[in-house]
Structure 1
Amino acid sequence: MINVLIVEDDPMVTYINSNFLKKLEGFNLIKSVDSIAKAKESIKELKPNLILLDVFLPKGNGIDLLKWIRKEEIRSDVILITAEKNIESVQEAFRYGAIDYLIKPFTFNRYKDALLQYKERFNKFKNGTEIEQKTIDKYIMSGNTVEQKIDNINDLEKGLSKHTYNKIWDALIRWDRKHFTSEELAEYLGMARVTVRRYLEYMNKNGKLDIVIEYGKVGRPQHKYKMKKV
C-alpha cells in the first residue's frame, strides 16, 4: 500500500484529489494538510511514500517544501499539482526530484496515469535489489521526440489519454524494434494489450505507424506495426 499525503490549501481541490485517489487501488490517503508548517510536521511523523503538493500555499511555497524534503534526505516522492505554469517553477520542480507535474485543472485520466505509473515504479523498485536498463527506461520519458508527441495532434479520440499516448510513443523511440505486435509492446510496457492496441491503431490512423500483415503456415495472420521514417 502506498501512503499518500496531500498538501493543498484549497478545500475543493483537496476533495477532488482525495476522491480521485479513492478510485485507484493500492493508495492510502493518510492525511491532508493546508500549510507548509503542517506539511513538515506530518512528513516527519507519518513518513508518506508519496506527497501530492501544491505550489501556492499560505506562508510558503511548495517548491521550497520540495527543497526542504531533499535537504532533509526524506525518502518521499513528490508530484506537483498546481496552477503554477511558470516554466522556471516547472524546471525547478524537476531539478529537485519531482516525479510529475500536473497543472490545474487536470483530468482524472491524467491524474490516474500519473498515479498508476508511480505505483508501477514503486512496486518494481520495492520488490528487488537490482534492476535492468530496460526496466529503468520504462520510467524515463524521452525528451528527444517532442515534435512527434500528441501535443501536435488536435483531435485525440475520446477516452484516450495524452499522457499514455506519449508514454507509448517514447517507448517506441527507445525500443529499437523493426516490427512488433501489440502483445510484445504491452509486455514491454507492463500495460494491458487491449489498451496498447487501441493507441497503436490510433497512431496508424494518424500516419505515425504502418501495419504489416504476416501470414504464417498455421493460424491467423499476425498484425505487426512499424514506425514510419520521418
Structure 2
Amino acid sequence: MIKTMIVEDDPMVRQINSKFLDKVEGFALKKAVANLTEAKDFISNNTVDLILLDVFLPNENGIDFLKWLRKEEISSDVILITADKSMERIRDAFRYGVVDYLIKPFTFERFRESLNIFKERLNSFKHHETLEQCELDKFILNSKNNAINKEKSNYTLEKGFNKYTYKSIVDELSNINQEYFTTEDLSEKLGIAKVTVRKYLDYMSKQGQLEKIIEYGKVGRPLYKYKINN
C-alpha cells in the first residue's frame, strides 16, 4: 500500500480528500493534519510515500513545507491540491519537485488519474533497475495517454461511425506499447474485422489523433502502420 498523508486546514475538504483517497485502490491514509507543525512532527518520525499538500494554510504556506522537505532530504513525493492558479506558484511547485498540481475544485476522476499515474510510476521504479526511454516517457510526458483520453472524453463522430466501436478502439489504443501498430494488431485483440478497424483508424488519422504511414514491399499489398500523435 502507498502510505499517504493529507495536509489540509479545512475540515470538510480534508474529509472529502480522505474519502477520495479511500476510493483509489492501493493507497492508505496514514495521517491527515491541519497545519505544517503537525505535518513536520509526523513526517519527522514516520515514512510516507505521498503527501497531498494544500498551499493556503492559516499563517503558513505549503510551498514553504515543500522547500523544507527538500532541504531535509525527505523522499516523500508531493501532489499539490490548491485553489492557487498563479503561474508563479505553479512554477515554484514544479521547481521543487511536485509530481502533480490539482486546482480546486477538481473532479474525482482527475484525482484518481493523478494517483494512478503516481502508483504506476512508483511501482515501476520499485520493480526495475533500469528503464528504457519509451517507458520513462510514460511518466515524464504522459503524452500518449493525454492524447487518447482527450479523444475519449469528448468526441463527435461523423455519420456512419458507431460510438461503441469507436470507444472500443480508443480504449485499446491506450494499451498499445509499441510505437507503431497495424490494423491487424487491433483486429486480433478486439475481434473486429480488419476493414472496420482500418476505417476507424483512418478516420482518427484525418482528425489528427494518429499518424499513418505506408510501407511498400517488393511483393504483396502495402502495409499500413499507425502511430499515436503526441
TM-score (norm 1): 0.69
Residue 208 of structure 1: how far off its partner (Å): 2.6
Within a 5 Å distance, the mapping from 1:65-214 to structure 2 comes to: 65-141=65-141, 156=154, 177=179, 179-181=180-182, 206-209=207-210
Structure 1 pair 126–12 and aligned structure 2 pair: CA distance change class (3 A): same
- Preserved CA contact (<8 Å) 2:204 2:210: yes
- Equivalence for 1:217: none
Residue 97 of structure 1: how far off its partner (Å): 0.4
- Preserved CA contact (<8 Å) 1:36 1:58: no
Count of aligned pairs between the two proteins = 193
Structure 1 pair 8–137 and aligned structure 2 pair: CA distance change class (3 A): same
Q: Distance in 1 between matches of 2:29 and 2:205?
A: 40
Residue 109 of structure 1: how far off its partner (Å): 1.0
- Preserved CA contact (<8 Å) 1:35 1:59: no
Q: Distance in 2 between matches of 1:11 and 1:184?
A: 50
Amino acid at match of 1:209: L
Q: Secondary structure at the match of 1:67?
A: helix
TM-score (norm 2): 0.69
Q: Distance in 1 between matches of 2:128 and 2:66?
A: 27
Residue 206 of structure 1: how far off its partner (Å): 4.1
Structure 1 pair 29–182 and aligned structure 2 pair: CA distance change class (3 A): farther
Q: Distance in 1 between matches of 2:63 and 2:43?
A: 15
Spell out structure 1 runs of 4+ moving beyond 6 A: 182-185, 210-213
- Preserved CA contact (<8 Å) 1:204 1:210: yes
Structure 1 pair 28–142 and aligned structure 2 pair: CA distance change class (3 A): closer
Q: Secondary structure at the match of 1:70?
A: helix
Structure 1 pair 75–226 and aligned structure 2 pair: CA distance change class (3 A): closer
Unaligned runs of 5+ in 2: 157-169, 191-196, 215-222
- For residues 70-106 of structure 1, what are the alpha-carbon distances to aligned partners after superposition, in whole Å with 9 as ceiling and x for unaligned? 0000010000010000101000000000000000000
The structure with more radius of gyration: 2
Residue 129 of structure 1: how far off its partner (Å): 2.5
- Equivalence for 1:31: 31
Amino acid at match of 1:43: I
Unaligned runs of 5+ in 1: 159-164, 186-192, 214-221
Amino acid at match of 2:67: K
- Equivalence for 1:161: none
Structure 1 pair 114–86 and aligned structure 2 pair: CA distance change class (3 A): same
Residue 44 of structure 1: how far off its partner (Å): 1.0
- For residues 4-47 of structure 1, what are the alpha-carbon distances to aligned partners after superposition, in whole Å with 9 as ceiling and x for unaligned? 00000111211111111111111000010010111111111222
